[in-house]
Amino acid sequence: MHSRRVFMGTAAATLLAACSQQAPRGNGAAVSLLNVSYDPTRELYADINPVFARYWAEQHGPVDITMSHGASGSQAHAVIGGDEPAQVVTLAVPYDIDQIAERGLIARTWQARLPNNSAPYTSIIVFVVRQGNPKRIRDWSDLARSDVGIVMPDPKTSGGARWTYLAAWAYAIQRLHVEPRSFMRLLFGNTATLAPGARAATAAFFQGEGDVLLAWENEAHNLVDQGGFEIVTPTLSIRAEPAVAVVDANTRDPNVRAAAEGYLEFLYTREAQEIIARRYYRPFDAEVLAANAARFPNVPLVTVQDVFLSWHDAHQMHFRDGGVFDQIRSSQ
C-alpha cells in the first residue's frame, strides 16, 4: 500500500523572471517531482519538502513535491513496474535502488553522484519496549527467549527489516559466537507480528501486539513521543545507509532534471542536515552530528561490508526466493 502527500512552493512573477536564465520554463508552470520513499520517512519529508520548495522557488521557480511511502522493496518494484513514476527515490536499502538500475531506469553508477555513496544520513536499529520494560529486554539475545513476542516488518518487503535481520545475524556471530541460523530460527519463531512495512509494525505494537518492536531509531522516537514506551539500544547494531537517487528515465526534461538533482543535493545542506538530526536520523554532516551527539547513543556498529561483503551478496544469500530467510521461516 502506498500513500501520497503533496508539498507546493511558489514564487512571485518578478522572481521567476529574474531566475529565468537559470531554469527556463516558458509558461512558468511548477515543476512536479514524485519522491518514492520508504515507510517511516513521512515526518522527515513533511519537514524538508516545504523548506526545499521555498529555496527552489527563490532560486529557480515553483516546484510541487508529491510523496509516496511504503515498504522499501515494494516501492522499488512499483517504480520498476511504472505504478510509481518517480523522479527521485529515497529508499531504505541501496540494493533496492540497484534493482531499479538493473532495469535501466537509473544509471548503474548512481551511488557515485552524491557524497557518502548517495546516503545523506545513516541510522541504526533499536528496540522499543513498553514503559518499565516488563520483560527486561536488554539485547538481541533476549529476543530468543520463549516468553518474548517480537513485532517487526517482513524482510521480504521492508528495507528496515532487512537491516534488522542482518544486525541480528552479525550479533549471533560476533557476540554469541553461535551458528547464526540457529539463533535466527529462535528469533523469528518469536515473531508475534511480521508486518508488510515499518509503519504497519509500529501501529501493531502501539495497538498492543507483542513485547518488543524492532525499529529504525527515528521510528522508535516517534513512538516514544506518544507516551507509554521506551527505547532499548542493543550492545551491537548496524550502520544502516538509506540512499537516494534521481530516476534518469523519468527526468529527461531539463527543468525536471535540475529540480530533481537540486532536491537531492539539498539534503546535504546544513539546513536539511539539521532537520534530519531533529527527526533522529544520523546526519552525514560531521558538525551537525557532533552538535546533536546527545540524541544518538554511541553504540558499536557493523556494516554490510564487514559481515556480508556487499548488499548484492547479502540479498543473494538471505533474501532471494528460497534464500536463508525463506529457509528459516519454512522451518518454523
Q: What is the pLDDT of residue 3?
A: 63
Q: What is the pLDDT of residue 106?
A: 98
Residue entry with cell 548512481: 110
Q: Which amino acid is at 241?
A: E
95: buried, middle or exposed (CB in 10 Å: 19+, 13-18, 0-12)? buried
Q: ∠ CA(171), CA(176), CA(180), 5° rounding?
A: 65
Average pLDDT over every residue of 102-125: 98
**Which stretches of the chain are assigned E, i.e. beta strand?**
3-8, 31-38, 63-70, 88-91, 121-122, 125-130, 150-153, 191-195, 212-216, 229-232, 237-238, 243-246, 282-283, 301-302
CA dist 66 to 32, 217, 249, 260, Å?
A: 8, 25, 18, 12
Average pLDDT over every residue of 246-251: 98
Q: How many residues make up the chain in this entry? A: 332
pLDDT band at 17 (very low <50, low <70, confident <90, very high): very low
**pLDDT for residue 23 is more than 90:** no
Name residues whose C-beta falls within 8 Å of residue 150's C-beta, 6 or more positions apart in sequence. 143, 187, 190, 191, 192, 193, 210, 211, 212, 214
pLDDT band at 29 (very low <50, low <70, confident <90, very high): confident
For 54, phi then psi, to 5°, come to -65, -45
Average pLDDT over every residue of 87-95: 98
pLDDT band at 5 (very low <50, low <70, confident <90, very high): low
- Cell reading at 20: 529565468
Q: What is the pLDDT of residue 282?
A: 98
Average pLDDT over every residue of 175-199: 97
CB 174 within 8 A of CB 302: yes
Q: What is the pLDDT of residue 330?
A: 93
Residue-wise pLDDT tens digits, 277-293: 999 999 999 999 999 99
pLDDT band at 331 (very low <50, low <70, confident <90, very high): confident
Do β-strands 191-195 and 150-153 pair in parallel, antiparallel, or remain unpaired? Answer: parallel
- Cell reading at 242: 538509506
CA dist 252 to 46, 111, 261, 279, Å?
A: 26, 19, 12, 33
pLDDT band at 332 (very low <50, low <70, confident <90, very high): confident
Q: What is the pLDDT of residue 24?
A: 42
What one-character DSSP code corresponds to residue 293?
G
- Cell reading at 276: 534530519
**How many angstroms separate the CA atoms of 54 and 256, rounded?**
16
Q: What is the pLDDT of residue 10?
A: 34
Average pLDDT over every residue of 166-179: 97
Average pLDDT over every residue of 16-26: 37
Query: Domains plus CATH for the chain?
Result: 3-121+241-295 (3.40.190.10), 125-239+300-330 (3.40.190.10)
Q: What is the pLDDT of residue 16?
A: 29
